Structure 1
Amino acid sequence: MSRQLDMDTLRQNFWKEEYLREKVLRCEWHRKYGTVVKAKQKAKAAARLPLKLPTLHPKDPLLPPPAPKAVPTKAPSPALETPTIQSEMYPVPPATRALLYEGISHDFQGRYCYLNTRKLDMPEMRYFFPITTSFTYGWQLGPPVKQEVVSCKMCRIESFFRKNGAFSLLDPQDLAL
């Protein structure tokens, strides 16, 4: 007996679109954040290399400083330079970092208090860019807005519980004779 595949043209087109959408999403992320990630990776690789100290040469007798040139040199634009980022996160403010060293987590101090305080910050204030695709859902949404429930207790009780009890008597009109 042949194997049944649940693939029809509609489902095949769905999966084609889904793969294409994922591919476009990855390319878009790479276009936005690829250079920053590469710069970070290069910085980490450079940090792993052994430190080579510069060679000290004997001091030469002091020479008079050279005369300044009349032609001013054009300074490079700061917008074109890529920032060297050591991590994906912004540095923690000193007041928040100080919470780590006050008390212990068992007493809701120390690391517990630090993590709860850090959690209150928006993701844009903690990270340079969205790390995962799930970050994009909450990225730049703004502060959370708390909505109050406008429901009274009696409305919930009347709509939740049965009106005629668990073992209601049968109505004689409901019986089949």
Structure 2
Amino acid sequence: MSRQLNMDTLRQNFWKEDYLREKMLRCEWHRKYGSLVKAKQKAKAAARLPLKLPTLQPTAPPAPPPAPGAAPPKAPSPAAEAPLQSEMCPVLPATRALLYEGISHDFQGRYRYLSTRKLDLPETRYLFPITTSFTYGWQLGPPAKQELVSCKMCRIESFFRKNGAFALLDPRDLAL
């Protein structure tokens, strides 16, 4: 659209009134519906927030009543309660010792610890399936060997040509 150069006072007043009318319509709409829109936006934002569920502590059996004349028992330390909140099983001491031997740059230390830890089955590492993707492979057991049924007529060694990209076709390259 080209710019109009023949703007006179009448046309300028028309555009000024039109601009002010649109501005007033926007203000009226905002006064009427602004609070509803903000409420919907807050509801959407609250729905997007993840639901934080509390962690359940395992119930311990009630302690027997103390014998008369005995010293009062010590309160359990917070460090002893930390493994109860963990989702993972405790690590064997031999595996934990790998953390402190060498550095990861030399494929020791943390590198060896993580590589030996990942060899364990998830059932031995975790107390329960943490994510839904765990349920697909949880407690399946060892993988079963599948024998490949193939015939030499159907098998192609490689997708690419053996003689290079621009060479003439070799009859061995074709799958018939």
TM score, norm. by length of structure 1: 0.41
TM-score (normalizing by structure 2): 0.41
Larger Rg: 2
